[in-house]
Amino acid sequence: MKTFACAISLALCASFAVAGESTPSRAAERPDIAKVVSIDVPAGGCNVVEAKMTYLDSKGESHVMTYLRHGSDCFDH
């Protein structure tokens, strides 16, 4: 759930990649996310990496959103 919340908050500032096209997002725009299908975060330590979230909107259409975050293997020690 924490990953989902992080993804949603980052989504407000992220770029959208739908059908191969990238459209910049504005902070005021909220994506229509009915169900998250998958979240792929590459390893990269605490470096910034490009993560990908695949989701379904309220019409059942699939979309892919990319956003920047720390790598999946970044642990705050």
pLDDT digits (tens, 9 = 90+) for 31-75: 899 999 999 999 998 999 999 999 999 999 999 999 999 998 988
pTM (2 d.p.) = 0.60
CATH of the domain at 47: 2.30.140
- The total number of residues shown for the chain amounts to 77
Q: What are phi and psi of 32, to 5 degrees?
A: -85, 90
The encoded tokens of residue 9 equal 């908050």
Adjacency order of strands within the sheet including 35-40: 21-24, 15-18, 62-70, 48-56, 35-40
HSE, side-chain direction, 13 A CA sphere, residue 40: 7
- 38 within a domain of the structure (yes/no): yes
Q: How many domains does the chain have?
A: 1
Domain boundaries, position 32: 2-70
Sign of the torsion formed by the C-alpha atoms of 10, 16, 22 and 25: negative
